Structure 1
Amino acid sequence: MLHTSAPSEKAIHAVQPFTSTVPREYVHRAAIAEVFLTTGWTRADEAHFTIGAQWPRAHSFLGPVGGTHYDPMMVAETIRQVGALLAHVGFDVPLGHQFLMWELNYRVVPGLLAVGGAPAELRLHVTCTDIRRRAGRLAGLSYEVVVTENGRTVAVGDARYTCTSPEVYRRLRADRLADPFPAPGPLPAPVAPAVVGRWNPSDVVLSPAAPGVAGGARWQLRVNTDHPVLFDHPGDHIPGMVLLEAARQAARSRVPQGREMLPAAMDSTFHRYAEFGSPVWIEIDQAVDYPGTSESLLSVTGRQDDELVFTAITTVTALPTRTP
C-alpha cells in the first residue's frame, strides 16, 4: 500500500474551478448522481494529473457512517472512477472498451472524514506508475492517488487494470455475452441489516450460510441486479464494487453491536470474474487486533465454483469522536 504525500500546489499547473461532473460515460456510470469526479482536470506530463472530485453529504447507498463521517468506500469508488477517466481523456481509449480491475487499495485518515456543512471539495493528485501499451493503444495502467481537501491529505490509494477492445472482449467472453444481465430472481434472505451496518435489507449483500473456516464466518453473496447503485448499468459479470461491499459488510459483522466502525483501509486483489448464475461464497478470518490501537485486521475472500475470485485485506477502526 502506498504512503504518498500530495505534491505542492506550486508544482502543478493552475487548476480550473471544479463546477460540474465529468461525463458519466467517462467513469462508466449510468446515473449522474453516481459521478464523483468533476471537470477542470489538468495534466502536468504523461504520468501526472490533477483531478477534482466532490463527495455529497448524503448518498442513497454510501451514506455517512454513524451520521458523521464520509464512508471510506467513497474513496474506493473515486479511485475506480479515476482509472476510467484517465483511460478515456488521458490516453485516448475509445468509449466501449472493457476494463478489468486487478487491484484496488485505499487508506483513509479517519479523523479527516467528518462531514462538514458543505459537500467535500477534493483534489486528486494522480501518478501513473506503469503505462502499458499494445500496438500503440493503452493496454493497462497502474496509478496512485492522493486525495486532498483544503491542502490536507485525507486518503491515499492505488489501482491496476487492463483494458481490451470490444472485439477482443467479445472473443474472450462470448459464452457470457449472450445473456449479459440476468433478470432478478428470488434472492436468498439477507442477514439482519444492523449486523452489517445497514438499515435497508435491500442494501445487504450477504446471506447466511453454513459455518466456514474455524473462527470465521461464511455467507452467500446476494446478487440483487435491481439495486440502483451496485448495479448501476447492465453488465456480463458481478461488479468489483459489489465484492468490496461484501468485504466491508463481512468486516462490519465482526464488530460488536452498538459500535460504529470505519473500513479505514482495504487492499483488494481480483483474481477472476465473478459470474452470474453460480453462488459466490464470502469468508472471513478471525480478526487480528493491533495492540494499543482501535484497529483490527481482517482477511475476506470470495470463491465461486471452488475458484478464488477476490481477496480483501480490510482494516477496521473505531469511528472517531466528532469534535465541534
Structure 2
Amino acid sequence: MLAETIRQSAMLISHAGYGVPTDYPFLLWSLSYRAEPTAMAVGQTPANLTISATCQDVRFRRGIMAGMQYQTVIHRGATRLGVGTLRMDCMAPDTYARLRAPQLSQRLPDMVPPQGEYQDDKANSVLVPTGEWYTWRLQADRRHPVLFDHPVDHVPGMVIVEAMRQAANSVAGVTAVAPFEMDTNFIRYAELHLPVFVKAFPGPIGPNGELSVRVTVEQDGVSVATGRLMTRQIVREESREESLSVQKVG
C-alpha cells in the first residue's frame, strides 16, 4: 500500500501541479520506502495518512514535465510512518508509440489468457510455483481493478512490486508479514507475451526478526527489475495491548 500510495500521489501532482496531460504514459525507474515497523501495526479502524511531497530534478520538454525525482514523508496521524522516493519519466503518446513499436510488432498472444469469472481471492496472487527453490512464474489477472487500473501494453511496475512482496512473504514463511523497507529498480519493460520469472534470495535474519530478501525479475534470461525488501512479522495493535495487559497483571 505504501508503494502504491507513493506512485499515485506522484502521478496526481504531475497532472494537477505540473499540467502533464492525462494521456501521457509514465515510466517508473525506481521506487523505495522506509517505514517504522511499530507504526505499521494494523488496528481495528482505518488509518489516516498525510503525505508531504517534494519534487526535485524536475525536467521539462517542450514546456511539459518530462520527469522528476519525487520524495515523500508519510505520517499516520501525528506519528511519522516513513519516507519514500520515486524516479519517473513521462512522455508524449507519439514518442511512446515509437519507443514501443519494435516490441509490439513482434507481439504474440499474451502469456496470461483471458480468465473466466473474476475471483478476488485467486486474482490477488500473482506468483505460480515453478518447482525450483524460491522461483516463481509471474501470472496476474489483467482484470484486477488495482494491479491493472488502466490499459497497458506491458507488465505494470506495480505488478512487479507486488510480485516482489509476495516472494518475500513466501521466503519469510509467515502469513502476516510486511516489508517495512523496499528498494526497487526497473531496468526495462516486461512484455506481456513472454514468461516472467521471479527469484528470491534470502539473507540473514536480524536481531529483531527482520529478514532481508533480494529479488530479481527476469524475462528471456535478462533482468527487467531488481529489488531488496526487509520484512518483519506484523503485530496487531490489540495483540500488543493484550500482551501489555498480561505483563501488568503478572
* Shorter-chain TM band: 0.7 to 0.9
SS in 2 for 1:223: coil
In the alignment, what sits opposite 2:179?
263
Gaps of 5+ in 1: 1-73, 188-198
Contact 1:184 1:226 in 2 (8 A): no
- Decide whether aligned partners of structure 1 residues 254 and 115 sit closer, same or farther in structure 2, where only a CA change above 3 A counts: closer
In the alignment, what sits opposite 1:57?
none
Q: Indicate yes or no: 2:162 matched with 1:234.
A: no
The CA deviation at 1:308 is: 0.8
Q: Indicate yes or no: 2:71 matched with 1:144.
A: yes
In the alignment, what sits opposite 1:301?
216
Q: Indicate yes or no: 2:169 matched with 1:252.
A: yes
Comparing 119-128 with 78-87, which one deviates more in the overlay? 119-128
The CA deviation at 1:163 is: 0.6
Matches within 5 A, 1:64-143: 74-116=1-43, 118-143=45-70
Gaps of 5+ in 2: 242-250
In the alignment, what sits opposite 2:233?
318
CA distance in 1, matches of 2:55, 2:184: 19
Contact 2:42 2:234 in 1 (8 A): no
Q: Indicate yes or no: 2:206 matched with 1:206.
A: no
Q: Deviations over 1:174-215 (max 9, x none)?
A: 24567899595178xxxxxxxxxxx9333211111142xxxx
SS in 2 for 1:238: coil
The CA deviation at 1:256 is: 3.0
CA distance in 1, matches of 2:145, 2:5: 18
Q: Indicate yes or no: 2:189 matched with 1:273.
A: yes
CA distance in 1, matches of 2:25, 2:200: 30
Q: Larger helix proportion, structure 1 or 2?
A: 2
Q: Deviations over 1:256-275 (max 9, x none)?
A: 35x52111111000001111
- Decide whether aligned partners of structure 1 residues 260 and 247 sit closer, same or farther in structure 2, where only a CA change above 3 A counts: same
Q: CA RMSD in A?
A: 2.4
SS in 2 for 1:120: coil
Q: Indicate yes or no: 2:225 matched with 1:225.
A: no
The CA deviation at 1:109 is: 1.5
The CA deviation at 1:121 is: 2.0
Contact 1:75 1:155 in 2 (8 A): no
Contact 1:106 1:265 in 2 (8 A): yes
- Decide whether aligned partners of structure 1 residues 118 and 270 sit closer, same or farther in structure 2, where only a CA change above 3 A counts: same
In the alignment, what sits opposite 1:193?
none
Contact 1:181 1:235 in 2 (8 A): no
Contact 1:180 1:237 in 2 (8 A): no
In the alignment, what sits opposite 1:288?
204
The CA deviation at 1:136 is: 2.6
Q: Deviations over 1:38-87 (max 9, x none)?
A: xxxxxxxxxxxxxxxxxxxxxxxxxxxxxxxxxxxx11000000111111
Comparing 224-233 with 169-178, which one deviates more in the overlay? 169-178
CA distance in 2, matches of 1:297, 1:122: 26
The CA deviation at 1:137 is: 2.0
Identity of aligned residues (%): 38
Contact 1:181 1:236 in 2 (8 A): no
SS in 2 for 1:185: coil
The CA deviation at 1:149 is: 2.4
CA distance in 1, matches of 2:173, 2:5: 29
Pick the aligned partner of 1:185 from 110, 113, 121.
113
Comparing 108-117 with 292-301, which one deviates more in the overlay? 108-117
- Decide whether aligned partners of structure 1 residues 180 and 146 sit closer, same or farther in structure 2, where only a CA change above 3 A counts: farther
Paired amino acid for 1:223: A
The CA deviation at 1:321 is: 4.9
Number of residue pairs aligned between Structure 1 and Structure 2: 234
